[in-house]
Amino acid sequence: MKTDVLILGGGLAGLSTARHLREAGIRSRLVVEAKSRAGGTAGSVVTDGFTFDYTGHLLHLHNAYGKKLILGLLGGNVASHERRAWIYSQGAFTKYPFQANTRGLPPAVVAECVAGFLETVHRPKTLPKAPDFLSWSRATFGEGVTKHFMRPYNEKLWRTSLSRLTTEWQGRFVPKPAAAEVVYGAFAEQNKLFGYNATFRYPVTGGIQALPDALAATLEPGVLRVGARVLAVDLREKVADVEGLGQVRYERLVNTLPLCDFLDLATPLPIAVKAARAKLRWNTVWNLNLGVDRLLGDKHWVYYPEKKYPFYRVGFSSNFSPNLAPAGHTAVYVEVARPGGMRVDVPRLEAQVLTGLREAGVLRKGDTLSAKVWMPVKVGYVVYDFHRTPAVNAIFSHLNRHGVESIGRYGGWKYSFMEETILDGKRCAERLAGKALAPEAAHAGELAPLK
């Protein structure tokens, strides 16, 4: 087979690239996806009457173009929600974010958090140009907030010391309230919502799978090939070996697979790029989905910073849409982080998770689990240590010389969300085509599904 543009991975980044290439006039393109349907980790699995996503996948729409495109794809199959996120620590529930909502915690903890935050305002610390995340947290939120939430939660998530992490990843993901808001949230119910995910959208039916399915439906027949795993890529000869298709020759290559996996398939790689590949670090999210035979309240998700609980977050996806579970049941996802490549005794971990859920009061002793499905995400989070950016820059420099674009959350080796991933595909298509696509080109109804 021959194609002008070969796209590895049929998730949101790959599908978006293919769609936008068509808008730019490039019709010779091929998307190859290892799974049996489009979506990648932005997909869903249906079992025993439940629809489970690969952990919580919520639509945060901040870009006018992205919003119009995504809502146009979903049509009427989408609902808006105001976030109901909580933190469980010290035996109490407090609203997210922790730094603005300490009311309900033991008085000594509240005092420590508020006093520490106010100290950062009145006695600010000078940080180096590129601080580590632990130093940044202490300087931004104070010792109390860092001690009681930022440090334990993030070390549970990232599985490394915060002194080894940069601040490159956090951006909009870690909101800083004003001093008055911190004080208010220590004594009264805080009504203000903070952060990029204060509101979100989610499909009414079909789980998050509805979005990649709608995006894939805009492509011509034959552009997307599923069940087509990439086995090897020869960067010099510009040929990929794809399961079920054989050799596929291309002019330009777009990778959306996890960067570590793509580099393990690609040849030739110089010694410097192999060394950079060896410095990439990531976490695997061991995601256990449960179907519970009763309703578990109205929360969307809860963070668990304390070490005694093996999970860092528990979400209730049927509160995003009741269609994800049979009537009177709850669809639950539980997230546990482990370093990438670490061997995990899954039955043992499952027993620990279920025990932790009971100790946290999520499950009762007599609860019946109508469904139980492990759906791990191999590269759940890219670890932003001080090796990441130099390594990624060296890798991308080599790939660019060979006509390779590596994009999306996984191909771009970054921390991002679904709208940004779709926009990555648009920008990639623009670079490949050598022209910008007007935002108006993708308004609702512009590209109807092809039959």
Per-residue pLDDT of the chain (451 residues; tens, 9 = 90+): 999 999 999 999 999 999 999 999 999 999 999 999 999 999 999 999 999 999 999 999 999 999 999 999 999 999 999 999 999 999 999 999 999 999 999 999 999 999 999 999 999 999 988 999 999 999 999 999 999 999 999 999 999 999 999 999 876 667 788 999 999 999 998 887 777 778 999 999 999 999 999 999 999 999 999 999 999 999 999 999 999 999 999 999 999 999 999 999 999 999 999 999 999 999 999 999 999 999 999 999 999 999 999 999 999 999 999 999 999 999 999 999 999 999 999 999 999 999 999 999 999 999 999 999 999 999 999 999 999 999 999 999 999 999 999 999 999 999 999 999 999 999 999 999 998 886 644 333 333 333 2
Please state, in angstroms and rounded to a whole number, the distance separating the CA atoms of residues 384 and 415: 9
d(CA 192, CA 175): 12
**Structural contact between residues 186 and 114, judged by C-beta atoms closer than 8 angstroms:** yes
**What pLDDT is stored for residue 219 in this prediction?**
98
* Rounded CA separation 246/261 (Å): 19
Q: Which residue has the tokens 């709850």?
A: 330
How many contiguous H segments (helices) and E segments (strands) does the chain have?
14, 20
pLDDT of the residue at 270: 97
CA torsion sign for 217, 218, 223, 224 is negative
What is the rounded CA–CA span in Å between residue 38 and residue 55? 17
Query: What pLDDT score was predicted for residue 174?
Result: 75
Q: Dihedrals φ, ψ of 38, to 5°?
A: -70, 160
With b for 16 or more beta-carbon neighbours within 10 A and e for fewer, the 343-371 pattern comes to eeeeeebbeebbebbeebebbeeebeebb
Task: Write down the pTM of the prediction.
Answer: 0.93
Rounded-to-5 percentages of helix, strand, coil across the chain: 35, 25, 40
Q: Are 161 and 380 spatial neighbours (Cβ–Cβ below 8 Å)?
A: no
Question: How confident is the model at residue 428, as a pLDDT?
Answer: 97
Q: Which two tokens stand for residue 296?
A: 């578990």
Question: Residue 438's pLDDT is what?
Answer: 63
CA distances from 421 to 169, 231, 308 (A): 15, 24, 35
Number of other residues whose CB lies within 10 A of the CB of residue 48: 14
User: CA-to-CA distance for 288 and 285, rounded, in angstroms?
Assistant: 9
Say how far apart CA 150 and CA 375 lie, in whole Å.
27
Half-sphere exposure of 328 (CA within 13 A, CB side): 4
Report residue 142 as tokens.
């104070």
Q: What pLDDT was estimated at residue 451?
A: 28
